[in-house]
Amino acid sequence: MELESSYPPLFRRLRDSAPAIDPDNGSPTANPIPEPHPIPLIDLQRLDVEPERLGEACRELGIFRVVNHGVPLDLLTRLRSHARRLFSLPFESKQASFTTPLSYFWATPVLTPSGSAVSRGSQSVNWVEGLQVPVGQLSLLGDGDGDDDDGDDDVVTVLAGLRSLLQEYGVHLARIAKLLFQAMADDLRLDPTHSKSYLSESTGFIRLYRYLHCSKADGDMSGMEAHSDSSVLTILCEDDVGGLEFYKDEQWIRVQSAPDTLIVNVGDMLQVMSDDKYISVKHRVKVKKPEDRISLCYFVFPGQDSVIRSVKYRPFTYADFQAQVQRDVKTLGFKVGLPRFKLD
C-alpha cells in the first residue's frame, strides 16, 4: 500500500487494467528481438584513436554505449538510489513540493518549454512519472523553501541530498556531451562558424524517471511510447531492470541493461546538423519485470538563438522546432517532428 500511495492517482485506477497506449506506434513488428542487442561500444578514452567507430554508430543505429566515461560508479549508484527514494514518497507530497524550477509530470513525457506537462488525452497514457531539473538551476534544488505540510519536509530533505549528487553528475555529463559532439562535428566536417553554437551546456537538463510496473502478469506492459528525442544528444543512466528498445529495419530491438555504462542516442537536432547522415533513433521503454525502473536522462540542445542549417531542411532554431512540436501535440495528439521542416 506504501508503494501505491506514491503512484499518481491515475495509475492507481489503472493498475488492474492495461494502459491506454499503443506501445508499437503503428510499427509492423510488435514483438522485439528476444535476445539483448550488443549496441556499439564507444570507449571515451579512445575517441582520438578510433574516431570512425563513433561516426559508424551514429550512421548505422543512432545509439551506442559509452565506457570509460569517467563518472564515478558510486555516484551513479547513489543517484539511482536517491531517485528511487524520491519517487517512493507520497504522491501528494511530491506534487506539492516539486515547484519551479523543477517540473513534475506523469503519464506523458511531452513538456512545454516552461516544463509543464502537455495534455495528451486518454489515448497516450505512458506508465511513467518524472522530475525535470534544469542543470543551470541545480543550486535552487531542495533549498528549503517548500511548504511545511506533512510529508513535504521529507521531500525537501531528499531533494537537498540529491542536489549535490546532480551537480557533480551534471558536470560530468556536460564534459561527455562536449567530447562526443566535438568528435561528431569533426566526423561530419561541420563548419565551426555554425557548429560552435550547436551545443550549449546552458540548455542541459536532467530528467529522473520512474517507469511503473503493472500488476498484470502478462509481461506486455509498456513504460513509454515510441518516440525520438528533440535534443542534440541524450545520455542515459539506467538501473538493472531494463526495458529500453530501439527501432531498426522494421524490428524492435531490446537493449541489454548495464548500469555501470552510459547509453547515448542521437537526437533530432543532430540528425538535421548531419544532413540526415546520423539517425535520430526511435526508441521506447517496455517494463516487463515486476518492479519499477529508474533512469536518469541528460538532454542537451543548441544555443537559444542558434540557427540550424542543413541542405535538407529549412533553417530553424530549436525554439521554432519546439513550438511546432507543441502545436502538433495539442492539435494532433502526437509529435510530427523533423518532417515539418524538411525541404521538398
Q: What CATH number corresponds to the domain at position 149? A: 2.60.120.330
- Whether residue 14 is predicted with pLDDT greater than 80 in this model: the reply is no
pLDDT of res. 244:
94
* pLDDT (tens digit per residue) in 306-343: 999 999 999 999 999 999 999 998 898 889 999 999 99
10 Å Cβ neighbour count for 321?
Answer: 22
Residue 16 binned pLDDT confidence (cut-offs 50, 70, 90): low
In 3D space, the residue among 258, 266, 251, 270 whose CA is nearest the CA of residue 295 turns out to be 258
Q: Is 154 exposed, middle or buried (0-12, 13-18, 19+ CB in 10 A)?
A: middle
- The grid coordinates of residue 256 equal 541489454
Total domain count, the chain: 1
CA distance 295 to 292: 10
Alpha-carbon distance values, 16 to 75, 89, 149, 205, 240 (Å): 36, 22, 31, 34, 25
Angle of CA points 191, 194, 198, to nearest 5°: 115
Q: Tell me what percent of the residues of the chain surpass a pLDDT of 70.
A: 81
User: pTM for the full model?
Assistant: 0.88
Cell numbers that stand for 96 in this block: 506539492
- Residues facing residue 66 across a β-bridge: 42, 262
What is the Cα–Cα distance from 281 to 62, expressed in whole angstroms?
A: 5
Mean pLDDT of the chain: 84
Could you list the residue range(s) of the whole structural domain that residue 16 is in?
2-341
pLDDT at 1 (0 to 100): 42
**pLDDT at residue 27 in the model:** 47
User: Would you state the pLDDT for residue 21?
Assistant: 45
Q: What is the pLDDT of residue 240?
A: 93
Q: Residue 229 pLDDT > 80, yes or no?
A: yes
Pairing of strands 63-67, 41-43: parallel
- Of 120-129, 271-280, 324-333, the range with the highest mean pLDDT is 271-280
Residue 26: what pLDDT? 44
Q: Is 242 exposed, middle or buried (0-12, 13-18, 19+ CB in 10 A)?
A: buried
Average pLDDT rounded to a whole number, residues 58-71: 97
Query: Has residue 62 got a pLDDT over 70?
Result: yes
Q: Report the distance separating Cα 153 and Cα 146, nearest Å.
A: 8
